[in-house]
Chain A
Amino acid sequence: MKILVCISSVPDTTSKISFEENNTKFSKGGIQYIIGPYDDYALARGVELRETLGGTLTVLNVGLADAEPQIRKALAIGADDAVRIDAEPTDSFLVASEIANYAKDKGFDLILMGRETTDYNSGVVHGIVGELLGIPSFSPVMELKLEGNTATLAREIEGGKEKLEASLPLVLGCQEPIAEWKIPNMRGIMSARTKPLAVIAPSSEALTNIDKFELPAPKGACKMISAEDAGSLIKLLQTEAKVL
């Protein structure tokens, strides 16, 4: 089994988002970066499959050098080697074509990643990668089992889930409960230091760029209604807020 897991490096989910340089740049000051939470599920399932089926697990990040602690963490969790493609990951097509360019000719059976990143939330990289490589893609995948060349997976659909069978190779966008997040142990952390991390120059161009950021308008005050008189809320929702 040859597995590629693609991870993003994103601000911790509790981060306060702000911008600088006249709202043209994200303020990185004081921000703690983590492996994208959805990517972390993909990684956890990848590591489990690698442990039970053998083979190799490569972790790939399209990102700048400041993503390396997150890449090392993925190595500590159980990836065998790592690749960082040295480009700022702000455009879905660029990220996808970097992944596809790296993966083509390498014979990966499975390419796993999160269903979306928690910074730009596009949720399309797996699909573009699948198209560029000419192989099927599915998302959001919440269960994944392998038997020989056949994958049985469950993908979430509106109001439920759908169980599917498909042949490898596949690109999958993952989400819980595909596996539980893994915490690296001491041995993993030690061995991660010496595992190979290759840095590759990018080969594709962005098709979109961000000109400016904006924060949402602050929320007005919350109108309080007493619990005794709770029913009066419904009238307000109808006549004042006009949502009923």
Chain B
Amino acid sequence: MSVLVYTELADGQFKKSSLEAIFYGSKVAAQVGASMTVLAIGSASDDELAKAGNFGATKVLHANAQNLTSENIMAYSKVLSETAKSLSAKIVISAKSSLADAVMARAAGALKAGLVGNVVELPETSNGFKVKRSIFTGKAFAETSINSEVKFIAIKKNVLPLEESANAATVEKLSVDTGSLTESSKVLETIKASGTVSLPEADLVVSGGRGMKGPENWQPLLDLAEALGAATACSKPVSDLDWRPHHEHVGQTGVKVAPNLYIACGISGAIQHLAGVNSSKVIVVINKDPEAPFFKAADYGIVGDVFDVLPKLTAAVKAL
């Protein structure tokens, strides 16, 4: 019996969410008395990969080949399902992300494995295999049994506080038969904001709504985000109006975030917006309307004009 953790690399490093998945996987492995293996696909140095050991891994399998690129989901999922088969892995774990979801889905399909996403706690394994997952975009939870022999789970961000040790993992090359990996698509162009904090991975998020009045007014919000090292986000109308790029749109029909801190500036707090941000640990709301529904979902509130409040917050952060 073994546990396999599927991880993602970005710019040659484990994504933070993948470190969380490794740590979670090590706890699951200890709980069920299994060994754990980490699978990493893409380019990264052995030193970086050995860092998986800091979060409880003893062994990392590293697959890297020229035509093994992230748009080739079929190839990634094949590497994952073949690895799970060869290790007889019974539990396969990843952090949720749109790419990981696609890879996990296909691998689970290939292995006829039950797959549950948005898992928020360690599984209950004393009687069957049960996981608690968030449903209705964070408005409820469901305790779900996975009954198939192989079980796939994708965890939400911030499920367990990370504990770091000084252990290093051993790194083994995984040879993949690249000839059998069909090229299913070709990338024409990648448009990516550079130098900004990735929104789904971010611990701190500053978000703006229609109360910001127009794209030309975003600077004070960007200043606060920069001072904090936070990612920026927005409400749906803001991205619909093209004030901000679409990948910043959070909510029921946008990115779901679960940062430690979410600061909402000029956002009313519609139920569809709350659905994407209600897993945040601490929510701050700045709104000039004391009746704005968002205050009911907030931990800290300021009734005031965003253009007056934001510079004060930025100054206070800089003074820390």
Contact = CB atoms under 8 A, between A and B. Distances in A.
Interface of A: 11, 13-14, 17, 19, 37-38, 91-93, 96, 115, 118-132, 136-140, 142, 152, 155-166, 175-177, 206-216, 219-220, 222-227, 230-238, 241, 243-244
B303 interface: yes
A166 B281 contact: no
A222 B109 contact: no
B136 A118 contact: yes
Contacts of B282: 237, 241, 243
Nearest to B194: A159
A93 B300 contact: no
Given A159-B192, A160-B190, A138 B141 contact: no
B101 A177 contact: no
6 closest Cβ pairs, A-B complex: A127-B105, A227-B304, A207-B114, A131-B109, A231-B316, A160-B192
Q: Is the interface of B mostly helix, strand, loop or mixed?
A: mixed
A209 to B, nearest CB: 5
Please indicate which of the listed interface residues A14, A175, A230 has the most CB atoms of chain B within 10 Å of its own CB. A230
Q: Is the interface of A mostly helix, strand, loop or mixed?
A: mixed
A176 B106 CA distance: 23
B87 interface: no
Contacts of A159: 192-193, 196, 198-199, 247
Contacts of A96: 105, 109
B293 to A, nearest CB: 11
Interface stretch (B25-33, B37-45, B167-175, B307-315): B307-315
B211 interface: no
Interface stretch (B57-65, B142-150, B212-220): B142-150
A13 B137 CA distance: 10
B299 to A, nearest CB: 6
A84 B317 CA distance: 56
A159 B191 CA distance: 8
B74 interface: yes
A12 to B, nearest CB: 10
A203 B15 CA distance: 39
A22 B263 CA distance: 36
30 contacts: A17-B136, A92-B115, A93-B114, A96-B105, A122-B115, A122-B117, A124-B104, A126-B102, A128-B108, A137-B105, A156-B98, A156-B247, A157-B190, A157-B247, A158-B98, A158-B201, A160-B193, A163-B187, A163-B191, A165-B185, A207-B148, A209-B144, A209-B145, A209-B147, A210-B142, A213-B141, A224-B302, A232-B316, A237-B282, A241-B282
